[in-house]
Amino acid sequence: MNFIRKRMGSLEKLFNPSSVAVVGVSEDPTKLGSVLFSNIIDSGFKGKVYPVNPKHEKLFGVKAYKSVSAIKGKIDLVAIAVPAKFVIDVMKDAGRKRVRAAIVITAGFKEVGDDGIELEKQLLETAKRYKIRLLGPNCLGMINPMTDLNASFAASTPEKGKIGFLSQSGAFCTAILDMAVEKNLGFSYFVSLGNKADIDELDLLDMWYKDENVKVIGAYLEEISKGKDMVDLVRSNDNRKPLIMFKPGKSLSAMKAISSHTGSMAGSTETFQAAIKQNGIIESNEVNEMFYTMMGFAWSPLPKGPRVAVVTNAGGPGIIATDEIAEHGLEMAEISAKSKRAMRNFLPPTASVENPIDVIGDALAQRYRAPIDVLMQDENVDSILVILTPQLVTQIEETAKLIISSAKLYEKPIYAVFLGGKYAKTGLQRLYDNKIPAFLYIQDAVKVIEKMHTYQAYCKKAIAMDDKKKDALVKNRGKGKYQKELQKLVKNKVLNPSESLVQKMAEEVGIDLPEQIISNDLKEILHFAEDRYPVVIKATTESIAHKTDVKALYLNIKDEQELISNFEKLQATIAKVSKTKTAEILVQEQIEADESLLIGANRDGGADVYEDGSKGFGHLIVIGKGGIYTEVYKDFQTTLVPSTRTEFENALYSTKVSKILRGARGMEKLAVNKVLDALEAVQKLVLLYPEIESLDINPIMINKKRAVAVDIKIFLK
Amino acid sequence: MNFIRKRMGSLEKLFNPSSVAVVGVSEDPTKLGSVLFSNIIDSGFKGKVYPVNPKHEKLFGVKAYKSVSAIKGKIDLVAIAVPAKFVIDVMKDAGRKRVRAAIVITAGFKEVGDDGIELEKQLLETAKRYKIRLLGPNCLGMINPMTDLNASFAASTPEKGKIGFLSQSGAFCTAILDMAVEKNLGFSYFVSLGNKADIDELDLLDMWYKDENVKVIGAYLEEISKGKDMVDLVRSNDNRKPLIMFKPGKSLSAMKAISSHTGSMAGSTETFQAAIKQNGIIESNEVNEMFYTMMGFAWSPLPKGPRVAVVTNAGGPGIIATDEIAEHGLEMAEISAKSKRAMRNFLPPTASVENPIDVIGDALAQRYRAPIDVLMQDENVDSILVILTPQLVTQIEETAKLIISSAKLYEKPIYAVFLGGKYAKTGLQRLYDNKIPAFLYIQDAVKVIEKMHTYQAYCKKAIAMDDKKKDALVKNRGKGKYQKELQKLVKNKVLNPSESLVQKMAEEVGIDLPEQIISNDLKEILHFAEDRYPVVIKATTESIAHKTDVKALYLNIKDEQELISNFEKLQATIAKVSKTKTAEILVQEQIEADESLLIGANRDGGADVYEDGSKGFGHLIVIGKGGIYTEVYKDFQTTLVPSTRTEFENALYSTKVSKILRGARGMEKLAVNKVLDALEAVQKLVLLYPEIESLDINPIMINKKRAVAVDIKIFLK
């Protein structure tokens, strides 16, 4: 299931043009077109740049052109900043000139509603007709620091670096850029996607995964329409470039806001979370967190494990760091005895060589050297966090220099926190100048270490995707035995298949069901129950439809005598309610449950999600605590279809209730393997029948031998 | 139960001296004593300042003195920065001169171990003998901006303001001070507590609660030794000054670090959390969070409710804010139709008047005016969050000015986030200069709004403390019927009272227990069981001690016949195991439980914690999910003893499992009132018997009528 980009052409001319025409430059230097033109010139772009404006002969001291086609030389890229209603004409003109890439800065398309949607459709059609790759509309433009091209109206150009950054929000671009310029974070690409009419995150990811100038990818996305494609693309990323993603819209109110802001639905949070977790995507939820995470991955090697050593010149911040490290799933490194001795030789007696290592408030820069050198060589330490609080004698810049030289000597990540404001800044700036991840706040640093550790652990675990098996699963998609019956129901808008059809489908994929018969013959019922006591009897749904106030269920029937008496009572009840003398009764083995779970499946996107290029993420499988505590503890985990058994196992073991399955409080282990079988069976079911919109098994009863689905509900769409 | 400070004198001479002697000034201007001396001079202190050093006639151009007693005039405050071994002599000299306050900067006391502990003890004794109030040792000193006195070796003096700030960590002081100077946050007091040999947080809280120059209190504390006193003091705070507290040491590793750093135990995190939550103390867990929280409370009125309106010039950050608001327990305000119409009149058609209100990227400063004015007057809005992203035309400083003027016109809190780095700063600085809470990051702002809202909600709810009732409870402390028996056990180091003693104690306070008899007479047993089926029978602990592998419990016995047969089986088992023919058997009514909870009690501090000035917080009551899910979901809440019934109710309703008690999924309500009775009974028990170190009822079985303690364990100390 390799990801194949069915696109019309490469992005070479967009990012690496030899000539650019800017349409919409005017005499007013504050207008978008003029800013764009100036930025291209000022950023030091080596190619040719032509201003286009029919009303002027000269602009900014150079010859201006009436149209793109009026320019004599070849034009690779056209940047358009004219009012929306003129954009398509400019595109056509550029198309006739065989321009291959366009940036449309202009707003007033999809985001303004119906008229805009229509205009954007026409814009895309024009682009396709003329084979022009289109960035935008309604975007800030893009910056390629490697070729010194700032084709955007952003106020600054970042340094050259190894980060590919894309954003659906121009404002987010601006905020990151502002921080990047201040802290010297460099980029290989910096792209504002705007409305994503043509070029979207998939194009850029595909390109950046292959581009050796990109080491780290950052993405701010309000909407991921082709979720399944994105997951496939990320999985195909063999050289494992970290992808840091910020996708707002977790809360209901934010989803509403997104839909009014971009005119598109945000998609389910759960599905996105599952996709993130399962595929090692690094999530970020704040502007500064996103920025610092990119900084960490770009500037520092990955820590080899969770063990952090803290070196501080003050006890308090050391303790705060210790708390943060514990809270973020990292560990305080156990310093080796050898390292402690080595440090002890260089530190005053009042210093502490236990982690957090306290070099004491009167430490000059040199006092940080021994601990850092020693910890760099201690195999019990995976990363070093150096904290500096400006005290009376503290040498802020000198300490920064010392950290810089250590970072260059060793291959172990080192992070710095310089607390405070005014004084700390001089040191921080020196660290940024030398590409050392450095922070004003302890929490910011620890969050970055956590993310880098989590990513490293994900890469190390390297969950075998076993794509062949998955392909096999997906190949049978839509080939269930009861496909026709299901399709008939969908056609007739019957969205709940009958109990018996659900049972047949469940049996087809091997879901363990309680043994049962439906009968009105007492003799037959007694025969069935013979070696299955205790049993349960109940009225079938049909016989007492909508009567919730009658006793229609008898549990824990231990012997023949009890069965006969309850059978008679139930018959009488049914007779009274439904006026049939000998109604059918369901007899079922009673499942003794040590624990009750729920398994669910929900589809995100259409039934065609398994086709390339289709919308949504496909089915999401949910596993967690079932029964009366379902809503109380909301203890669920999720994985995307298709998942391997290992991925199901990871999800199951991430639930809290799995402690019970593994034998908590001295109890016996329950049938974990049967739960995994059930998860695989449910996955098979939703793949065989993509018509299933959602499925709900609650409870699935777990004991030491079986995982039995007592109640399965299926909804079609 | 009023808090009475039994201290030896006021802090007047410390904070408001008319003359200060600095002992340990030298020719080297970088030494602590010299810095301290210079700081006092440079901060503009109006009183007299004398340098003391026996080796010099003149220092920094003024006459130096051989000793404090050699100074002719009256000395109110002495600041000491000589080596540790000389400190006590200086104190004695100052004492003879009738100095009333001392700041000991010098380190090398309790924090360095045994010798230091002894030295600190002597220091305190000297202070007491001469009636000198002592700040430190091992501290940074203190700053009183109101009297222009910087008696510290901190590098800067903050502005005058309304915040009283104290810190046990000098480094934390420095970090906060550095931020404060940069962002113009003002203080009325700024105190580094150091080792707290004499003056501690209780002295300062007591003083600041009464001082009208203090509006907000901030405290960084690594250790709260007199927890009960602190709680009483906070409760006595009628004028409700917000207390923002940062107490690190939540993780085990951090507790270890604290104990090696301050030589004292951190105390239980749970107890501290309960104290915080119950008494409206505002918690902070990061340096910047602490700083911003103080800023919010000092500069802004409290929001009247949770409803936040967001005004932004960019969609993305608006959505991010919406997520953060939902995540932090706040609400997106529903803008009134009238407000929407009013805003619509002033905004371009592409702007959004739904919350988040988007004034669009091309907004100049003036475009923010209408929404802010309208929202200030909209009764559906409790606070306003203005977000600015620097875009091409954005007027950063002008927008800041506009926010400033609106904040002055209305009594509704307004918070600003200026995203980015380099450009945003000019606007932020202007906001700080005018005391508008302003932030670089959205999350920082939302956290502050959350804390201010939570505090306001706490004040509004104004849980009646009903102190008389509490006094009554505490008055009976140590007056249980079985006190003597318990004390005898403690004396003999028997730490588990027998089942029968526990039962009698439980009955004394009215804990509902299952009815039961212990007997070896079948007839008697049958008589007891007659109208109580189903029943349970089990071997008493004594009869099968340490035999876990025999069947000693029969559940769900439905009738006489079953009881007889199980009684015989059990008798036989006991006979085999313990070689007694007719062992005693416990027969108990079987409690049908719809839910099982746990109630626990733990004591933090000694049994004398209810005496004034004693250590620790006293007993902590725990309520939560019991049974097999106790450890799985860790669904507990806690309250400190003494608690009112309302406080117990709040704690109970804060557990997740309380959803079941209140009748989740269409089920009937359970006996919540009986759970509250049980909590009050347990509280009565631990007050009657302060010897109880911990108590554990797991499970307490809840059905529609009762809350029955099936298993009570008590440990003494």
CATH number of the structural domain spanning residue B151: 3.40.50.720
The whole-number pLDDT of residue A4 equals 42
The whole-number pLDDT of residue B8 equals 46
**Interchain CB contact of A248 with B (< 8 Å):** yes
Nearest to A320 among B181, B248, B390 (CB): B248
pTM: 0.88
- Residue A256's domain spans which residues? 12-296
Rounded to whole angstroms, the Cα distance separating A353 from A687 reads 58
For residue range B476-487, list pLDDT tens digits in order.
788 899 999 999
Rounded to whole angstroms, the Cα distance separating B577 from B571 reads 10
B592 contacts B601 by C-beta, under 8 angstroms: no
Is B108 close to A350, i.e. CB distance below 8 A?
yes
Interface of A with B in 253-282 (CB under 8 A): 253-254, 257-258, 260-262
**Interchain CB contact of B220 with A (< 8 Å):** yes
The shortest C-alpha distance from A18 to chain B (Å) reads 27
Is B314 close to A171, i.e. CB distance below 8 A?
yes
Tell whether the model's pLDDT for residue B150 goes beyond 60: yes
Residues B507-511 have a mean pLDDT of 95
Residues B529-554 have a mean pLDDT of 76
Exposed, middle or buried, B2 (CB in 10 Å: 0-12/13-18/19+)? exposed
Residue B506 tokens read as 């439980």
Residue B268 tokens read as 């239980």
Nearest to B171 among A361, A422, A664 (CB): A361
Per-residue pLDDT band at B466 (split at 50, 70, 90):
low
**Interchain CB contact of A222 with B (< 8 Å):** yes
Per-residue pLDDT band at A475 (split at 50, 70, 90):
confident
On whether residue A407 sits in a domain, the answer given is yes
The whole-number pLDDT of residue B214 equals 96
On whether residue A500 sits in a domain, the answer given is no
Give B356's contacts in chain A (Cβ within 8 Å). Answer: 257
Nearest CA to A377 out of A410, A400, A402 is that of: A410
CA distances to A176, A290, B391 from A180, in Å: 6, 11, 15
CA distances to A193, B453, B596 from A141, in Å: 8, 41, 61
Tell whether the model's pLDDT for residue A465 goes beyond 60: no
**Interchain CB contact of B168 with A (< 8 Å):** yes
The whole-number pLDDT of residue B4 equals 42
Residues B305-321 have a mean pLDDT of 95
The whole-number pLDDT of residue B462 equals 60
Is A315 close to B262, i.e. CB distance below 8 A?
yes
The whole-number pLDDT of residue B580 equals 63
Interface of A with B in 380-439 (CB under 8 A): 389-393, 419-424
* Averaged pLDDT of chain B: 89
Say how many Å lie between the first and final Cα of chain B, rounded: 26
Tell whether the model's pLDDT for residue A2 goes beyond 50: no
**Comparing B321 with A477, which gets the higher pLDDT?**
B321
On whether residue B2 sits in a domain, the answer given is no
Tell whether the model's pLDDT for residue B642 goes beyond 60: yes
The whole-number pLDDT of residue A462 equals 60
Is B257 close to A318, i.e. CB distance below 8 A?
yes
Q: Are residues B585 and B708 in the same domain?
A: no
Exposed, middle or buried, B661 (CB in 10 Å: 0-12/13-18/19+)? buried
Rounded to whole angstroms, the Cα distance separating A688 from A682 reads 10
CATH number of the domain residue A700 falls in = 3.30.470.20
For residue range B187-201, list pLDDT tens digits in order.
999 999 999 999 999
Kindly write down the DSSP assignment for every residue of A628-689, as one continuous string: GGHHHH--EEEEESS--HHHHHHHHHHSSTHHHHT-GGGPPP--HHHHHHHHHHHHHHHHH-
Residue B222 tokens read as 């690594």
Is B287 close to A442, i.e. CB distance below 8 A?
yes
Rounded to whole angstroms, the Cα distance separating A541 from A487 reads 23
What is the amino acid identity at position B210?
Answer: K
Residues B59-85 have a mean pLDDT of 95
CA distances to A139, A198, A209, A283 from A189, in Å: 15, 18, 13, 20
Which of residues A296, A329, A353 is at a domain's end?
Answer: A296
**Interchain CB contact of A656 with B (< 8 Å):** yes
Task: Please list the alpha-helical segments (H only) found in B640-714.
Answer: 645-654, 658-661, 672-688
The shortest C-alpha distance from A478 to chain B (Å) reads 36
Per-residue pLDDT band at B463 (split at 50, 70, 90):
low
Spell out the residues 6+ positions from residue A270 whose beta carbon is closer than 8 angstroms to its own.
A602, A620, A622, A638
Is A175 close to B317, i.e. CB distance below 8 A?
yes
Spell out the residues 6+ positions from residue A246 whose beta carbon is closer than 8 angstroms to its own.
A172, A218, A219, A220, A221, A283, A284, A285, A286, A287, A290
Rounded to whole angstroms, the Cα distance separating B254 from A331 reads 11
Is A178 close to B261, i.e. CB distance below 8 A?
no
On whether residue A554 sits in a domain, the answer given is yes
Residue B117 tokens read as 């502990």
The whole-number pLDDT of residue B269 equals 76
Rounded to whole angstroms, the Cα distance separating A458 from A240 reads 10
Look at strands B438-439 and B414-418 and give their pairing.
Answer: parallel
**Comparing A550 with A448, which gets the higher pLDDT?**
A448
Out of A61-70, A149-158, B223-232, B297-306, least confident range: B223-232
Rounded to whole angstroms, the Cα distance separating B243 from B209 reads 10
CATH number of the domain residue A571 falls in = 3.30.1490.20
Rounded to whole angstroms, the Cα distance separating A541 from A546 reads 8
Nearest to A257 among B111, B318, B660 (CB): B318
Is A628 close to B358, i.e. CB distance below 8 A?
no
Quote ipTM for the complex: 0.85
Tell whether the model's pLDDT for residue B607 goes beyond 80: no
Spell out the residues 6+ positions from residue A162 whose beta carbon is closer than 8 angstroms to its own.
A186, A188, A213, A214, A215, A216, A298
**Comparing B257 with B663, which gets the higher pLDDT?**
B663
The whole-number pLDDT of residue B710 equals 87
* Averaged pLDDT of chain A: 89
Q: What share of chain A has pLDDT > 70, as a percent?
A: 93
Look at strands A307-312 and A383-388 and give their pairing.
Answer: parallel
Question: How many other β-carbons are positioned within 10 Å of the β-carbon of residue B666?
Answer: 6
Is A254 close to B30, i.e. CB distance below 8 A?
no
Please count the residue pairs, one from chain A and one from chain B, whose beta carbons lie less than 8 angstroms apart: 281
**Interchain CB contact of A39 with B (< 8 Å):** no
Q: Are residues A205 and A224 in the same domain?
A: yes
Task: Please list the alpha-helical segments (H only) found in A434-466.
Answer: 442-461
Q: Are residues A428 and A550 in the same domain?
A: no
**Interchain CB contact of B110 with A (< 8 Å):** no
SS3 assignment, position A519: strand
Is B423 close to A178, i.e. CB distance below 8 A?
yes
Q: Are residues B404 and B312 in the same domain?
A: yes
Interface of A with B in 659-688 (CB under 8 A): 659-660, 664-665, 667
Is A319 close to B249, i.e. CB distance below 8 A?
yes
**Interchain CB contact of B284 with A (< 8 Å):** no
Rounded to whole angstroms, the Cα distance separating B95 from B108 reads 22
On whether residue B7 sits in a domain, the answer given is no
The whole-number pLDDT of residue A265 equals 47
Q: Are residues B523 and B391 in the same domain?
A: no
The whole-number pLDDT of residue A468 equals 58
Rounded to whole angstroms, the Cα distance separating B713 from B717 reads 14
Tell whether the model's pLDDT for residue B652 goes beyond 60: yes
The whole-number pLDDT of residue B612 equals 65
Per residue in B577-604, is it b (16+ CB within 10 Å) or e — as a string?
Answer: bbeeeebebbbbbbbebbbbbbbbbbbb
Give A633's contacts in chain B (Cβ within 8 Å). Answer: 633, 635, 656
Helix, strand, coil distribution of chain A in percent, nearest 5 = 40, 20, 40
For residue range A107-117, list pLDDT tens digits in order.
999 988 889 99
Q: Are residues B489 and B375 in the same domain?
A: no
Q: Are residues A213 and A277 in the same domain?
A: yes
Rounded to whole angstroms, the Cα distance separating A478 from A642 reads 14
Give A260's contacts in chain B (Cβ within 8 Å). Answer: 352, 354
Q: Round the CA-based radius of gyration of chain A to a whole number and report it.
A: 32
CATH number of the domain residue A104 falls in = 3.40.50.261
Residues B10-28 have a mean pLDDT of 94
Interface test with A, best of B285, B292, B625, B632 (most A CBs within 10 A): B632
Rounded to whole angstroms, the Cα distance separating A552 from A573 reads 8
Out of A107-121, A141-155, A569-583, B267-281, least confident range: A569-583
B329 — alpha (psi -120 to 50), left (phi > 0) or beta? left
Give A333's contacts in chain B (Cβ within 8 Å). Answer: none
Nearest to B323 among A174, A250, A631 (CB): A250
A33 contacts A26 by C-beta, under 8 angstroms: yes
The shortest C-alpha distance from A657 to chain B (Å) reads 6
Is B251 close to A389, i.e. CB distance below 8 A?
no
Is A389 close to B156, i.e. CB distance below 8 A?
no
Interface test with B, best of A32, A119, A290, A320 (most B CBs within 10 A): A320
The shortest C-alpha distance from A221 to chain B (Å) reads 9
On whether residue A98 sits in a domain, the answer given is yes
The whole-number pLDDT of residue B265 equals 47
**Interchain CB contact of B292 with A (< 8 Å):** no
Q: Are residues B238 and B384 in the same domain?
A: no
The shortest C-alpha distance from A351 to chain B (Å) reads 9
**Comparing B74 with A473, which gets the higher pLDDT?**
B74
The whole-number pLDDT of residue B605 equals 78
Is A175 close to B665, i.e. CB distance below 8 A?
no
Rounded to whole angstroms, the Cα distance separating B432 from B438 reads 7
On whether residue B30 sits in a domain, the answer given is yes
Q: Are residues B158 and B289 in the same domain?
A: yes
Residues B652-670 have a mean pLDDT of 88
Exposed, middle or buried, B212 (CB in 10 Å: 0-12/13-18/19+)? exposed
Tell whether the model's pLDDT for residue B152 goes beyond 90: yes
In chain A, the largest separation of any two C-alpha atoms, in whole Å, equals: 105
The shortest C-alpha distance from A466 to chain B (Å) reads 33
* Phi, psi (degrees; rounded to nearest 5) at B515: -70, 140
The shortest C-alpha distance from A611 to chain B (Å) reads 31
CA distances to A460, B60, B254, B333 from A326, in Å: 22, 49, 8, 36
On whether residue A469 sits in a domain, the answer given is no
Nearest CA to B455 out of B712, B691, B234 is that of: B234
Is A179 close to B421, i.e. CB distance below 8 A?
yes
How far does Cα A127 stand from its chain's mean position? 31
For residue range B353-367, list pLDDT tens digits in order.
999 999 988 889 999
Q: Are residues A668 and A691 in the same domain?
A: yes
Is B632 close to A659, i.e. CB distance below 8 A?
yes
Interface test with B, best of A386, A396, A632 (most B CBs within 10 A): A632
For residue range A53-62, list pLDDT tens digits in order.
999 999 999 9
Give A329's contacts in chain B (Cβ within 8 Å). Answer: none
Which of residues A589, A604, A623 is at a domain's end?
Answer: A589
Tell whether the model's pLDDT for residue A653 goes beyond 90: yes
Which of residues A441, A461, A481 is at a domain's end?
Answer: A461
Interface test with B, best of A392, A396, A630 (most B CBs within 10 A): A392
Tell whether the model's pLDDT for residue A576 goes beyond 60: yes
**Interchain CB contact of B653 with A (< 8 Å):** no
List, edge to edge, every strand of the sheet that includes A516-519.
A516-519, A585-589, A535-539, A553-557
Q: What share of chain B has pLDDT > 70, as a percent?
A: 93
Q: Are residues B417 and B531 in the same domain?
A: no
Tell whether the model's pLDDT for residue A689 goes beyond 70: yes
Is B419 close to A178, i.e. CB distance below 8 A?
yes
The whole-number pLDDT of residue B515 equals 92
* Overall number of domains in chain A: 4
Most confident among A106-110, A563-567, B291-295, B713-717 (mean pLDDT): B291-295
Residues A373-388 have a mean pLDDT of 97
Residues A387-392 have a mean pLDDT of 88
Nearest to B664 among A314, A389, A631 (CB): A631
Kindly write down the DSSP assignment for every residue of B570-614, as one continuous string: HHHHHHHHH--TT--EEEEEPPP-SEEEEEEEEEES-TTTTSTT-
The whole-number pLDDT of residue A544 equals 62
Nearest CA in chain A to B393: A30
Q: Are residues A529 and A581 in the same domain?
A: yes
The whole-number pLDDT of residue A42 equals 93
Nearest CA in chain B to A167: B316
Residue A140 tokens read as 């800030």
Residues A5-12 have a mean pLDDT of 64
